[in-house]
Structure formats: C-alpha cells, structure tokens
A and B are shown apart, each in its own frame.
Chain A
Amino acid sequence: MPPVVTGWFLLLAFAPGGPLGFLSDSVLFRWTGAAIAAGVMALPLMVRAIRLSIEAVDRRLEGAARTLGAGPWRVFWTITLPLSLPGLLAGTVLGFARSLGEFGATITFVSNVPGQTQTLPLAIYAALQRPDGDAIALRLSALSVAVALAALVASELLARRMRAAMVHGV
C-alpha cells in the first residue's frame, strides 16, 4: 500500500467523527500523530522479521526443554526468546530505518508543522522548497545520515555483544 494511502486512512480514522475521532485533539497535527504514522508504517516490517526469527528457532530444542520439566512459558522465555534475539534486534533496526525515512503517511496524516510533525525528511523537503534553503537541507541531510549510521553501528555492536554472550555466557 502506498504510504500516502496509509496516511489518508489514518486521517479518516482519527478525524472528528471517525472511529477514533475522540482522539483527534491529541493526535492531529501533533507529534503523537507523526509517531503513530511512523509506527504504523514500521510495524509490519518489524513483526515479519521478528516472526521469522522466532520460527527459525529449532523446535527440537523446545521439545528437549519440555522433557526436562519446563512448561510452554518457561520454554518461551528461556529457549525461544534468547535464541531469536538477533532476529528481534534486526527487526527493531529495520523498523527504526523505516520510521526514519517515513514521508508520505506522515505528511498526509498530520501535515508538516514545524516543531510538531516536521520529521527530518519533511524538514529537508520544506527546506528544498525555499530558494535559500540549500544550506539547511544539507545540514539536515548530514544529520539524517549521522542518525542512520549511529543506529546501524549501535545495532551491530549490540548484535556482536549478544552473539558473544551466547557463546561465552551472559
């Protein structure tokens, strides 16, 4: 689905008179709305990555844990979840990346209000619309590259630490 369509549906849902209209005052044209748009766009990607990593855990290990006296919940917390941690992390980073690049759903849903709903991509777009905006756009672009790199490095470090923890013990 194009992000613009998602944004429009969100607008219909949260507009006064819509099914979630009672929230319109606290969501429309506010940062909360921008966060909702980013979350809605990122969630499917995240859920998919996390589900795949949980499904990839060896069912035989879970069976072994059951025979050792662990009920389904203990198996989930002590076997399934720790073994799917790298995938959980990858899903989170993927979701973050999707949110960072979010444009269409946000601008359709909560517009482009400086200080409230103006995300990095929206601010860059707005700057480029002005004849003297190139310098600002450049600064903001550098900032977004830095944020993306920082997230990538952080996730890589975390993944390495988790792998090390799995091999050497927590």
Chain B
Amino acid sequence: MAFDLHVSKRLGDAEIALRLEAGEGLTVLFGPSGAGKTSVLHMVAGLLRPDRGHIRVGGVELFGDGIDVPPERRRAGYVFQESRLFPHLSVAANLRYGAGRAAAIDDVVQLLDIAHLLDRWPRTLSGGEAKRVAIGRALLSDPAFLLLDEPTASLDRGRAAEVEGAIVDIRDRLRLPILMVTHDRLQAERLATTMVEIDPIRT
C-alpha cells in the first residue's frame, strides 16, 4: 500500500475527514476548492497535526499510535501550490537545499529541462519555470514519495502541459508514489492511477 491515510482534523468550524488507501502510481485527491485537500497534504508532510487517525506511506508509520515523525524525517517531496522557492537563494542553491552530496542534480535538471535557469533568481522565473524548479528541488531531497498541490494551477495551457509531462515522467520512470491534489477533473483523469474524491467540508 503506497498511501494509507485515515485522518480527521477540526479547523475552525470545519471538520476534515478522509480515509484513503491507494497502491502504486499516482493517486489524485479530487474535490472542490475549500474541501481541505491542501490540509490533507500538509498532514501527510507533517506540517499539520491531525486530531486523530494514522498516516502510513509505503508501509512506514508517519503518524498514529503515539508516533509523529517530524517533517524533516518524513522524506516527503512536497511541491507546494505557490512553489515556495527560497527568495534569497539562486535556482541552483534552491535545488541543492535538500540534496545530499551524491544527488544526481544533472539528471533531475535534464528531466525537468531547467539547465538554463540554474543561475537565475526565483523572482525572475515565470510560474511554469518556478513550478519545475520546485519539483526538481523536491525530487533532489531524496523523497520516498511526492506530494503535488495543484501543480498546474495558475499556468497557461502550454506550460501546464510541460509540467504534466514532467509528472508523467516521474510517475513512469522514477516510479515514486505520488499523491496529487487538483480541482481539474480532466487533469485528474489524464494522470491518475487511482482517483479519490474528497467531500465538501461538513460543518
């Protein structure tokens, strides 16, 4: 089982509750805006603590039964919706931030076609470029799995297709389990191995 989540969390007036079991490949978490999809990714990454439940990824217990692995040891390759590149570091330094000494930076740079961006600064990148750098940074941190939050939102169609291509490559060539959030049903159907719908928040 790649992803085995059973979490609930009260956020203000809303209650997020999700049960999800998914195997290999790319699992899409699909649902309307504001359904708590991003919160679920935050819980898997360790940035948000569920009230109850368990989180297991690839058979490793990350949360539950008194276990709460800190985010830096979860090996989650998290690509945030807003990219979250470090503004005071160059693209190359952003890529190396989570990378070990032996990391195959060249391979990732080639896979994502970002070699020409290495000396640039995050604020000079377009949305699509920043997204590919963010994916590269996550891949280079030696992740056990990937979390993608609306990876093509705010991109025009051409750029979105590029990023989707990179995601397909990661799914089929690197064979990393991926949990992806989107509100785009067509995209979900194009990319998903498993599709899970999340209900609108109950209040």
Complex alpha-carbon distance, A164 and B74, angstroms: 35
Q: Are A66 and B84 in contact (CB under 8 A)?
A: no
A47-92 residues with Cβ-Cβ distance < 8 A to B are: 60-61, 63-71, 78-79, 82-83
The reply to whether A66 and B46 contact each other, CB–CB distance below 8 Å, is yes
Name A66's contact: one of B70, B88, B90 (CB within 8 Å).
B70
Q: Which B residues touch A71, using CB under 8 A? A: 70, 72
- Which 6 residue pairs spanning A and B have beta carbons closest together? A68-B98, A66-B71, A64-B84, A67-B78, A166-B88, A68-B141
Residues of chain B within 8 A of A70, CB atoms compared: 72, 97-98
The interface size of chain B toward A, counting residues with CB under 8 Å, comes to 29
Flag if B84 contacts A68 (CB, 8 Å).
no
Within 8 Å of chain B (Cβ to Cβ): is A19?
no
- Per-residue CB contact flags for chain B residues 60-77 toward chain A (1 = under 8 Å, else 0) read 000000000011111111
A60 touches B87 (CB 8 A): no
Looking at the assembled complex, report how far the CB atom of B196 sits from the nearest CB atom of chain A, in whole angstroms.
22
List of B residues within 8 angstroms of A2 by Cβ: none
User: In the complex, A68 Cα to B47 Cα: how many Å?
Assistant: 12
**A156 CA / B100 CA spacing, docked (Å):** 38
CB distance from A135 to the nearest CB of B (A): 50
Q: Within 8 Å of chain B (Cβ to Cβ): is A167?
A: yes
- Which residues from A are CB-within-8-Å of B70? 66, 71
- Asked if B88 contacts A63 (CB within 8 A), the reply is no
What's the nearest-Cβ distance from chain B to residue A28, in Å?
A: 46
Q: Which residue numbers of A lie inside 8 Å of B, CB to CB?
A: 60-61, 63-71, 78-79, 82-83, 166-169
Contact at B137–A169, with CB atoms within 8 Å? no
User: How far apart are the CA atoms of A70 and B46 in the complex, in Å?
Assistant: 13
Which residue among A64, A82, A83, A166 has the maximum number of chain B CB atoms within 10 Å of its CB?
A64
Q: Report A-chain residues with C-beta under 8 Å of the C-beta of B90.
A: 169
Q: Does B198 sit within 8 A of A, measured CB to CB?
A: no
Q: Flag if B97 contacts A68 (CB, 8 Å).
A: yes
Check if B72 sits within 8 Å of A60, measured CB to CB: no
B3 interface residue (CB < 8 Å to A): no
- Complex CA gap A71/B69 in Å reads 12
Give CA–CA (A170, B88) in the complex, Å: 9
Q: How far is A128 from B132 in the complex, measured between Cα atoms in Å?
A: 68
Say which residue of B47, B75, B93, B141 sits within 8 Å of A63 (CB atoms): B47
In the assembled complex, which residues on chain A have CB atoms less than 8 Å from the CB atom of B75? 69
18 pairs, A vs B, C-beta closer than 8 Å: A60-B80, A61-B87, A63-B84, A64-B80, A64-B84, A66-B47, A66-B70, A66-B72, A67-B46, A67-B76, A69-B72, A69-B141, A69-B142, A70-B72, A71-B72, A78-B97, A167-B123, A169-B93
**Nearest opposing residue in chain A for B119, CB measure:** A169
Verify if B130 is at the interface (C-beta below 8 Å from A): no
B71 engages A67 (CB within 8 Å): yes
Please state if B88 and A67 are interface contacts (CB–CB under 8 Å): no
